[in-house]
Structure 1
Amino acid sequence: MIKEPLKKTIENYVHQLFDRDPTGHDYYHMKRVAHWSKVLAEKEGADPFICEVAGWLHDVGDAKLFPEPVQAREHAMRFLSEQGITEHVCWQIKIAMEDVSFSKGQTPKTLEGKIVQDADRLDAIGAIGIARTFAFGGAHSQLIHQEGKETSGSIQHFYDKLLKLSDLIHTKSARKEAQIRHQYMLDYLQRFLGEWEVVNE
């Protein structure tokens, strides 16, 4: 668990980086991932401090969000060091952040990394995941749905990624929540496609 005032300092740092993001990778996404990272760490016997900090910073240096990813990640590590966090702990946080992204297709090396990845994936599914999908699609000029064109549209993203995530969860503590959110998406898609087809028959 991050103690005050360090937590506030990290929150402010993340807020400055992500407050204006319109793609679903905003400050509140980081806050939710940090929260779930801490909760899962406490249940799974991992280091809550490393997990929570890595949760806050996990998207720093994402190539989708930063024009200079390496520099952004290095700046984040310097920021942590300036807060008095030891070099060894900074290294552990960096490792926990490294392979979180779905697009990398990697399994994190440490339990802390797996927990942060689980927390990030939980935020990609369920009701919030649905909202984030359409936010990301709109920000990138994607259509909501396009019949017969499987490579485009936000609805296709459910089949390409979101419906696969519950089977990729590492920890028992995250799996139950992932299953609930997965079912919510299935129910949503059934309703969406039913309403779509009524006027497109």
Structure 2
Amino acid sequence: MAYLETDAQLEAVRQFTKERMADDETGHGFDHIQRVVNNVKLLLARETGANQLVTISAAYLHDVTDDKLVEDVTAATNELKSFLTNTGFDDDQIDEIVFVIENMSFSKSLNGGTPKALPIEGQLVQDADRLDAIGAIGIARAIYFGGHFGEKIYDPEIAPREVMTKADYRDLSNETIINHFYEKLLKLKDRMNTKAAKEIAAGRQQTMLQFLDDFKAEWQGTK
């Protein structure tokens, strides 16, 4: 596939995603998408063996059929497949992009199930997405998301959940923003797939741990 054709395809994918995520108010808007794309390009420069068109396209599209963001996943998926066909992607590329975005979320590890093995393209996109959930940006997104859904900031009487089903994970009725760090965000460092992502995640983990230490000290009036 010629470079200019690939470049045009990626621009079409970017515009498709931008239109669908423009009104998001949960921390999954196009600014998040663009950071994930930037992350995946950073990882692609350090990891080998991935198809760049599929990887970058999946990075752009990873939230457009997410069941927590769209009302009708089947309709959104069919629309995506039609768009990719009309944009010149072949069947194998479309199948891989859809497989990646359907199987990369943290929730796939819940309910006691074993997530499906992702190809290297999916591993890179999953890492890029998870990197945007941790560190300084991750802190801001957790607060933004929790505020949008009316979560408490913190309640020391509510312990983080150790075991969750997908239904539990999506139930925010007794959730706190701080507990989300312990239930998910602090776990992501050890779930990175690639060496490059693991190295980046180590520094972002320390940012979150320092924030939590400072937050609790200020909450308790000891700092």
Q: TM-score range by the shorter chain?
A: over 0.9
Q: Which residue of 2 aligns with 1:198?
A: 221
**What is the letter of the counterpart of residue 37 of structure 1?**
V
Shift of the 169–52 alpha-carbon distance from structure 1 to 2, 3 Å rule, reads same
2:166 paired with 1:166: no
Structure 2 gaps of 5+ residues are 110-114, 160-173
Alignment TM-score, normalising by the size of structure 2? 0.84
Q: Which residue of 1 aligns with 2:122?
A: 113
Q: Which residue of 2 aligns with 1:154?
A: 177
Structure 1 gaps of 5+ residues are none
Aligned length: 199
Displacement of 1:22 in angstroms is 1.1
Q: Which residue of 1 aligns with 2:154?
A: 145
**What is the letter of the counterpart of residue 11 of structure 1?**
R
Q: Which residue of 1 aligns with 2:23?
A: 20
Greater Cα shift, 154-163 or 33-42 = 33-42
Identity %: 37
In structure 2, C-alpha distance between the alignment counterparts of 1:107 and 1:92, rounded to whole Å: 13
Displacement of 1:18 in angstroms is 0.9
**What is the letter of the counterpart of residue 183 of structure 1?**
Q
**What is the letter of the counterpart of residue 60 of structure 1?**
V
2:81 paired with 1:77: yes
Give the alignment's Cα RMSD to 1 decimal: 1.7
In structure 2, C-alpha distance between the alignment counterparts of 1:74 and 1:35, rounded to whole Å: 27
Does the 8 Å contact 1:96/1:108 carry over to 2? no
In structure 2, C-alpha distance between the alignment counterparts of 1:198 and 1:3, rounded to whole Å: 56
Alignment TM-score, normalising by the size of structure 1? 0.93
**What is the letter of the counterpart of residue 164 of structure 1?**
K
Does the 8 Å contact 1:125/1:162 carry over to 2? yes
In structure 2, C-alpha distance between the alignment counterparts of 1:39 and 1:159, rounded to whole Å: 27
